[in-house]
Amino acid sequence: MNLIDSDEKLLKGPEIITGAVHNMPDMGVPLQSVLAVIAGETTLPNTDIVQVGNTVFLAQVGKGENQHKVVGRAFNMDTGRNFVKNGFKYFNYLQQKGYTHYSTTFNSPVFLNAFKIFQRRAKQQDTEIYIGVVTKGTAMDKYVVYMRLGKEPLTRGL
């Protein structure tokens, strides 16, 4: 499915998730099964789901001593430039909610490029972003990102 510029047309959350899953590489799992698992995940008690532009951010919030930590992922149907803006806005949202840590894994080169941009901005502020390689040189490179969110809004200057 084609990406849709959120400045021109705003999609609904389910459209974004369905389109993003449709665009994922074939892992041998039927599309309906993947969507059913995601739908189930959205109903879990510690789920935080936010739409920014044509990107849906889905995260699981920790409990107890980990209540300020989230593990999440993004479902994107927006342009690359807008995905970066959406990401900054989402991280600002996490900061406002009092979350101090965010982690994610992905295999998209678009996401990797975006996190390199996030990392450059974070170096000028009090947020730390670490990008690690889980697997490289395979058909699907996989990356992990750990963020320690600071107090300075990452949306400054957008």
pLDDT band per the 50, 70, 90 thresholds, residue 44: very high
Q: What are the residues whose beta carbons fall under 8 Å from the beta carbon of 99, sequence distance 6 or more? A: 61, 68, 69, 70, 149
Q: Stretch 30-56: mean pLDDT, rounded?
A: 94
Q: pTM to 2 decimals?
A: 0.92
Helix (H) or strand (E) holding 47: strand 47-52
pLDDT at position 83? 95
* pLDDT over threshold 70, residue 158: no
Express as a percent the part of the chain with pLDDT over 90: 77
Is residue 157 over pLDDT 60? no
Block residue for tokens 């665009």: 23
Domain layout of the chain by residue ranges: 13-148
Reading phi first (left if > 0) and then psi (alpha if -120 to 50, else beta), residue 83 is in alpha
- Cα–Cα dist 51/76, whole Å: 10
- pLDDT given for residue 89 in this prediction: 96
Are 54 and 10 contacting, i.e. CB atoms less than 8 angstroms apart?
yes
The better pLDDT of the pair 32, 61 is held by 61
Q: What is the mean pLDDT of residues 43-61?
A: 97
Q: What is the pLDDT of residues 70-107, one digit of tens each?
A: 999 999 999 999 999 999 999 999 999 999 999 999 98
pLDDT recorded at residue 65:
97
Report the alpha-carbon distance of residue 86 to residue 11 in Å, rounded: 14
What is the predicted pLDDT for the residue at 131? 96
Q: What is the CATH number of domain 13-148?
A: 3.40.630.30
> What confidence tens digit (pLDDT) does each residue in 99-145 have?
999 999 998 888 999 999 999 989 999 999 999 998 776 667 889 99
